[in-house]
A = this chain, B = another copy of it.
């Protein structure tokens, strides 16, 4: 296993998001398994709909298949596009950041709140949480509601994220928060400090779980398929 890597695929084409993911998972490099973060060139700048998400699947599957040193995969878009398709393609561990974030959050609080970027993402999230069977644990899912201009202003993003977190805590009863997006790990500590709640950054959660699956040889098709 020593020369194999965990492959993290950012299915959007923003290198800066990939860089943010790479930095977010740095502490997990102490486990001794290389972590390589890739950008899907064919992806859109950001994934804002089921349509965009679904269209990343085919190129993502190809990119994944090309990684001959893969010990496992993480799909780093909150929405987990192609998660089960990639599990059909390979017997190696495949984790999605949404699924992993939820499973991690469920060990940190009784009801999780999700900070979505866009309002239109929420129905998509709800379909996923329903498929996961975890809706009884959902406190709420709230969107930042920021336009493009606002999102490019870090102070504005940070403030809105904290406000959204406080609404999830105070109106919806969340006792753990999930960041519904890759690439915003740098806000995590501040968000925890301002809300007093644990905050799950989904790429961290997925990479941690994926590394555990690799080390423990946990595979969705059973170890005889290894």
- Stretch from A8-16, A154-162, A214-222 that touches the partner: A214-222
Taking CB atoms, residues of chain B closer than 8 Å to A88 are: 49-52
Q: In this assembly, does A89 line the interface, its C-beta being within 8 Å of a C-beta of chain B? A: yes
A28 to B57 CA separation, bound complex (whole angstroms): 32
Q: Enumerate 29 A-B pairs (CB-CB under 8 Å) in ascending A order.
A: A28-B216, A30-B31, A31-B32, A31-B215, A32-B32, A49-B88, A50-B84, A57-B57, A84-B127, A103-B103, A103-B104, A103-B107, A107-B213, A110-B122, A110-B127, A127-B131, A130-B130, A131-B131, A132-B137, A133-B133, A133-B134, A193-B224, A196-B222, A196-B224, A199-B223, A208-B215, A209-B209, A211-B212, A212-B212
A122 to B170 CA separation, bound complex (whole angstroms): 13
Cβ-closest 7 pairs across A and B: A208-B212, A133-B136, A51-B88, A110-B123, A103-B103, A50-B84, A127-B131
Q: Verify A126–B110 contact, CB threshold 8 A.
A: yes
Taking CB atoms, residues of chain B closer than 8 Å to A104 are: 103, 209, 212-213, 218
If A84-B127, A104-B209, A130-B133 are given as contacts, then 16 extra A-B residue pairs at C-beta distance below 8 Å, sorted by A number, are A28-B212, A50-B84, A54-B54, A54-B58, A57-B57, A103-B103, A103-B104, A104-B218, A111-B123, A130-B131, A196-B221, A196-B224, A198-B218, A198-B219, A199-B223, A211-B212
Taking CB atoms, residues of chain B closer than 8 Å to A31 are: 30-32, 215
A219 to B50 CA separation, bound complex (whole angstroms): 17
Taking CB atoms, residues of chain B closer than 8 Å to A51 are: 61, 84-86, 88-89
Q: In this assembly, does A22 line the interface, its C-beta being within 8 Å of a C-beta of chain B? A: no
